[in-house]
Structure 1
Amino acid sequence: MDGQPTAEVVDQIRDIPIYRPSIERGYFPVLEKPEIARGFPDNWMTPRLAEALASGAAEFVLSTGTNHDRMQIIRPPYFLLRSYYRLWSEHPDISATWEEGCRRVSLTTVLATEHVARVNARKRGAEPDPLPELDERRLDERTVYVNLRLDPALWEREEVERMLAEMRTARDAHPKGWYHLDCSSYHLAHLVRKVSEWSLWDKFPQPASIIHAYEYTPVNVKRYLQQHFACPIIDLFGSTELGYLYYSDRRGRYRPHLDKMSVELLPVAPDSQIYHLVVSSVRNPYMPLIRYRSGDCVRTLDGTPDPDRIARFCGREKELLRTAHGPVSQGDLDDRVAAATPRVFLHQLRVTGEAEAELHCTTFDGAPLGPAEAAALEDGVRELTGRRCRVEHRAHIAIGKSGKYAWLAKDH
């Protein structure tokens, strides 16, 4: 499969300036992010789009900038939210919580909370409050955001008790005492640690369903959450510009959700079984993306480039570590960590030289790893990367300014 769009798709994009050269040549190359930004928005402008922007049916937004430079895009209002709601409503394991009208509590990056507060303030013709009240953090009748701090490791008891109270408010609004918890897996793991440390479990209302959808979830974090929650825990994969593309079932197997989309997998390097995702989508009618390189990496069940056999999303192409044995992804290192010990919570590989590295780790219980665990980790990293490795315990690993963690850092 060469990924070229069908005649039906070509008809839908015929008037869009960025695609005219490809239509004339009869061949669509892979579309890169810099190409999207070059000449924006004129390279996307059509009479239909101009009319939609004027009427409010389309709007300019920025991608999160979490894993690449922020990119301006055009989309219908609430495009990503509607994609999320549709997937939630159709998911075989958790659709009941949608149908039952569960409130959605979102525990994720403070940037997401600030965005919602900013939009609500703009509607009122006011400036956003630095510490917005609950109603100012409400996205719609169903969804509220609760995190107000960049680094969840630094949450104080008063903040945690406020967030738990807001979760109870969502639960108490439902006749069955159900609510849906939407989260970054790291943020929820931090909350569980704080709740355990301060013996607050009697104040933590158990959710009826959980979705984590904001970044890569490490094996140990997934295992840790499963130990503390009895409800289905679902992973979604998507992006600001595309919406959601894949979802896991409660056993962790990924299924496609490719409404008005197709996916092809291209190797990140010759002979590599890590593939980057190339997506063609007309789901967003105002900015259809044809053979768009999303920057995300995947592995498949059998190592072949079959999109139906994706086994995991394993990080970002931009963050691959090049080694003599080929590229290494975030997921590859994570597998070595999880195989060595279930106690590691956060980890960051610091490349300190051509043949050396340090693996900085925090643990769920806060105690350093034992000698055998550390030795197993060091051996695993050396086998994977070809670098001598020293494991270093840390009480704290700082979160990035985007509210997400970097798995790889280079000191040379």
Structure 2
Amino acid sequence: MDGQPTAGVVEQIRDIPIYRASIERGHFPVLEKPEIADGFPDNWMTPALEKALEAGEAEFVLSTGTNHARMQIIRPPYFLLNSYYRLWSEHPDISGTWEQGCRRVSLTTVLATEHVARVNARKRGAEPSPVPDLDDRRLDERTLYLNLRLDPALWTREDVERMLGEIETARREHPEGRYHLDCSGYHLAHLVHKARAWGLWEDFPRPDSIIHAYEYTPANVRRYLHEHFDCPVIDLFGSTELGYLYYSDRHGRYRPYLDKMSVELIPVAPGSTLYSLIVSSVRNPYMPLIRYRSGDCARTLDGTPDPTKISSFCGREKELLAAPDGPVAQGDLDERISAAAPGIFLHQLRVEDGGTTARLLYTTFDGDPLGQAQSAALERGVRELTGLPCALEHREHIPIGKSGKYAWLARDL
């Protein structure tokens, strides 16, 4: 499969300047992020798009820029939210909480909370409050954002009590006392951990469904969530510019959700079974992306480039680590860690000394360093994976990044 668009798709994009040369050649190369930005927005502008922008049916937004440079895009208002809501409403394991009108409580980066507060302030013609209150953090009648602090490891007891109280408020808004919890897996694990440590776990209202959808969630964190919540815990995979492409079921198996989309898998290096996602999508009518390199990596059940057999989304292409046996992704390191040391919570691999040695910083759920046997097994596993001698270093705290997300890899710090 060469990924070339169908005649019907070509007809839909015929007027878009960025695709004219490809249409004339009869071949569409892989579309890279810098090409999208080069000459933006003129390289996307059509008479129909100009009218949509004037009418407010299309808007300019920035991608999150968590793991790459922020990219300006054009999309319908609430494009990603509507993609989320539709998938939630159709998901075989959790559609019931959508149908029953459960409120969505979102526990993710403070940047997301601040964005919602800015949007609401703009609607009122006001400046956003430095500490937005509950109403300022409501995205719509269904969704409330909780987090007010960059680093969840630094949440105070007061922070945790406030968030648990706001979750309870959302739960009570439902006639049967039910709610849906949307989160970054890391943030929810921090909240559970702190609630347990401070004797507040009994005050944590139990959700009826959980989605984590904002970043890669390590296996140990997923296991921790499954141990503490007796409800489906679902992963969604997508992006600001594409919407959602895949979802997991309650058992962790991924299913395609490719409405108006197709996916190719291209090896990140010759002979590799680690694949780069190349997506063609006309789901966003104002900025259709044809053979677009999303920057994400995946592995499949059988090692073949079959997008229906994806077994894991394992990090970003720009964060791959070169190793003797081929590029190493975030998910590859995570697999070694979860197998050798299920008690590890956060981790970061630091490549030092000009790329010749590594240190694995880690925290644990119980706060104690690993024992000698586990440490030796993990050091050996990291060395086999990366080709680098590795020393482990237990930490009480690994700071979160400015984006509100964790970096699994740091070089020469």
| More displaced 10-residue stretch of structure 1: 197-206 or 77-86 | 197-206
2: distance between equivalents of 1:82 and 1:94?
A: 16
Residue 362 of structure 2: aligned partner: 361
Residue 114 of structure 1: aligned partner: 114
Residue 15 of structure 2: aligned partner: 15
Residue 209 of structure 1: aligned partner: 209
Residue 209 (structure 1) shift: 0.2
Q: Provide the alpha-carbon RMSD of the alignment.
A: 0.6
1: distance between equivalents of 2:201 and 2:221?
A: 19
2: distance between equivalents of 1:406 and 1:76?
A: 31
Residue 86 of structure 2: aligned partner: 86
Opposite residue 375 of structure 2, the aligned amino acid is A
User: Identity over the aligned pairs, expressed in percent?
Assistant: 78
1: distance between equivalents of 2:167 and 2:20?
A: 50
Opposite residue 390 of structure 1, the aligned amino acid is A
2: distance between equivalents of 1:274 and 1:198?
A: 42
Residue 226 of structure 2: aligned partner: 226
Pair 1:196-2:196 in alignment: yes
Residue 167 of structure 1: aligned partner: 167
Residue 381 of structure 1: aligned partner: 382
| More displaced 10-residue stretch of structure 1: 79-88 or 166-175 | 166-175
Secondary structure of 1:28's counterpart equals coil
Describe the superposition over 1:315-351 as per-residue Cα deviations: whole angstroms up to 9, x where unpaired: 0000000012110010000000011111000010001
2: distance between equivalents of 1:250 and 1:327?
A: 30
Secondary structure of 1:378's counterpart equals helix
Opposite residue 46 of structure 1, the aligned amino acid is T
Opposite residue 328 of structure 2, the aligned amino acid is V
Residue 179 of structure 2: aligned partner: 179
Residue 53 (structure 1) shift: 0.1
Gaps of 5+ in 2: none
| More displaced 10-residue stretch of structure 1: 364-373 or 103-112 | 364-373
2: distance between equivalents of 1:303 and 1:98?
A: 35
Residue 63 of structure 1: aligned partner: 63
Residue 411 of structure 1: aligned partner: 412
Pair 1:291-2:288 in alignment: no
Residue 391 of structure 1: aligned partner: 392
2: distance between equivalents of 1:407 and 1:269?
A: 21
Pair 1:148-2:148 in alignment: yes
Residue 350 of structure 1: aligned partner: 350
Describe the superposition over 1:364-401 as per-residue Cα deviations: whole angstroms up to 9, x where unpaired: 11111111111111011011011111000000001000
Residue 255 (structure 1) shift: 0.1
1: distance between equivalents of 2:59 and 2:350?
A: 40
2: distance between equivalents of 1:149 and 1:345?
A: 20
Secondary structure of 2:399's counterpart equals coil
Off by >4 Å, runs of 4+ in structure 1: none
Residue 202 (structure 1) shift: 1.9
Aligned residue pairs total: 412
Q: How does 1:255-270 map to 2 (within 5 A)?
A: 255-270=255-270
Opposite residue 359 of structure 1, the aligned amino acid is L
Opposite residue 99 of structure 1, the aligned amino acid is E
TM-score by length of 1: 0.99
2: distance between equivalents of 1:70 and 1:161?
A: 34
Secondary structure of 2:226's counterpart equals helix
